[in-house]
Chains A and B, each alone.
Chain A
Amino acid sequence: MSLDVVAENAKEMRRKIISMVTQAGSGHPGGSLSAADILAELYFDAMRIDPSNPKWEDRDRLILSKGHAAPALYAALALKGFFPVEELDNLRKLGSRLQGHPDMKKLPGVDMSSGSLGQGLSAANGMALAGRLDNKDYYVYVIMGDGENQEGQVWEAAMFAAHYRLDHVIAFVDHNRLQIDGLITDVMSPEPLEEKWQSFGWHVQKIDGHNLEQIAAAIAAAKQVKERPSVIIADTIKGKGVSFMENQASWHGSAPKQQQAEQALSELA
């Protein structure tokens, strides 16, 4: 698929993120906007998926380990056709399939429940192992936050993936340099991330996480790597696309007011 189509979907995802979080009155716009281009490239280009058959055994899987970016995932899934776009309005409401954090038992297209940081890569390892046991060639994509890389379990999983040569695991680190309490380097530096992942035996690429060509090329390159898992450290901007949200830790977990949403949507027109 052409990257123009991906770009259009990425923009529409951003608009949906703003409107759904505003409507819900709570949620996480900053980290949703920073991951939007990565998710758009995956769902509208790279991944082998069939929205009419969400449990297809041969599908590529995606685990949003930074589950608080659920609005970005939900927008991608809805636009791709996994469920009606109108359902995005139900985000975070009682009884909704669109839970505050992704719930695989409720929503078609969600391959793994998440919300507690640090757990996604372990589950991805399990999915990749199962694929190997079943002679399947699907890939398992994982999206982690850079703050999330402070969790010890991430590094247990990193060690495991390299040890078992899980070359069908392709991980992204959404490197937006912010967590809730501020800059990752002020709170608890996980840097240097490239060297850490390298020393754990991973194939490492560093890209601009808002450049679709670079994202697509990095995924293609990761697929060529044999006998090693791949991580793509994507430099991003938290709140990307909405001027007053960009690079602001305060927009990690607060919803825009109606007027702010209108401004955001006009910037994303």
Chain B
Amino acid sequence: MEEKKKIATREAYGKTLAELAATDKNLVVLDADLSKSTKTADFAAVAPERFFNVGIAEQNMIGVAAGLAACGKTPFVSSFAIFAVGRAFEQIRNSVAHPQLNVKIAATHAGITVGEDGGTHQSIEDISLMRTLPNMTVVVPADAIETEQAVKALAAYQGPAYLRLGRLATPQINDENYQFKLGETVLLRPGRDIAIFACGMMVAVALEAAELLAQESISATVINVHTIKPLDIDAVVESAGLCGAAISVEEHSIYGGLGSAIAEALAENCSVPFARVGIDDKFGQSGSPDALLRAYGLTPTVIATRAKAVIARKNAK
């Protein structure tokens, strides 16, 4: 396979914020002492008067953003996912989601590919937490190109949103012609035998898995579910129904994230054999991102193996 250029979604986030600074004068950005890591420093460099560092105080950051939004500003707030969503969950619930304020929580360093910092810093439950909140839109971009467009779409969209970003540089799966549509899945590879639903950096891994399956004459559909909420239920049900088997793939706990969202949609609309690939009710730990992806089974080989087991269930019916 050709070598694809790797860029972290957080890099695209910072660049896009800085680009938007010139045109969107309502945009304000808040960070909690991690602006070099979340890349909001890029925005601070071009619009220092609209950048506010709150210090190591994530709960206050969410509250301040709620106030800014209540007065017509569009705040993007950033920290690591574990602190933005974890520490400030109830502030997000009661000061942002419940009053439906126009706050965008753009959290970086989600998932186990945070790497060496270890389990305390690896958020594997943020999709779940955010997805459960009424009014909250949840977006997990698959690459830098999609991130850029998602940031722009969310800046234009009125209402609370969660954007999940990564630390690790990952392959680009979209090209410059790509058009992101909030709430609509993207069919990346059509197939007949199984539908693979993936989000975030796992979309690229899912495409590799489909390639492995193709070598065994198994044809897999690969669908990028960048918007976890609201879920594109019709598209999910249609592809799963056509293939008669489905699997979800995410760098997140198998509880409450993409896998759960797909399972809920399928259970209610079109029951087909299904499996979830994700982090299996365990905390993360220190290690290099690659070593962790292997240790937690987030590899093309594991996805392909799990997919074949689901197809076998379909064929046994």
Contact = CB atoms under 8 A, between A and B. Distances in A.
A24 to B, nearest CB: 7
Interface stretch (A97-105, A196-204, A225-233): A97-105
Contacts of B83: 116
A99 B119 contact: yes
A150 B57 contact: yes
A31 interface: no
A115 interface: yes
A190 to B, nearest CB: 8
Contacts of B288: 94
Nearest to A115: B120
**Dominant secondary structure at the A interface:** loop
Interface string B75-95: 000000011001100000000
Contacts of A94: 285-288, 291-292, 295
A116 B55 contact: no
A54 interface: no
Contact of B121 (A96, A98, A100): A100
A180 B37 CA distance: 10
Given A94-B286, A180-B34, A187-B33, A151 B56 contact: yes
B118 A115 contact: yes
A24 B87 CA distance: 28
A125 interface: no
Given A116-B87, A147-B33, A92 B116 contact: yes
B118 A103 contact: yes
Contact of B59 (A116, A152, A190): A152
B292 A147 contact: no
Contact of A92 (B33, B56, B286): B286
Interface residues of B, number: 31
Interface in B5-38: 31, 33-37
A136 interface: no
A190 B116 CA distance: 29
B179 interface: no
A180 B116 contact: no
Nearest to B291: A94
B33 A100 contact: no
Contacts of A24: 116
A95 to B, nearest CB: 7
Q: Which 9 pairs, one residue from A and one from B, show the smallest C-beta to C-beta distance?
A: A188-B55, A115-B120, A94-B287, A100-B118, A150-B55, A92-B116, A99-B118, A100-B117, A94-B291
30 contacts: A24-B116, A25-B116, A26-B115, A67-B120, A92-B116, A94-B291, A94-B295, A98-B286, A100-B117, A101-B118, A103-B119, A115-B120, A116-B82, A116-B83, A116-B87, A147-B55, A147-B56, A148-B56, A150-B57, A152-B59, A152-B60, A179-B33, A180-B36, A180-B37, A181-B31, A187-B53, A188-B53, A188-B55, A188-B56, A190-B55
Interface of A: 24-27, 67, 92-96, 98-101, 103, 113-118, 147-148, 150-152, 179-181, 184, 187-188, 190
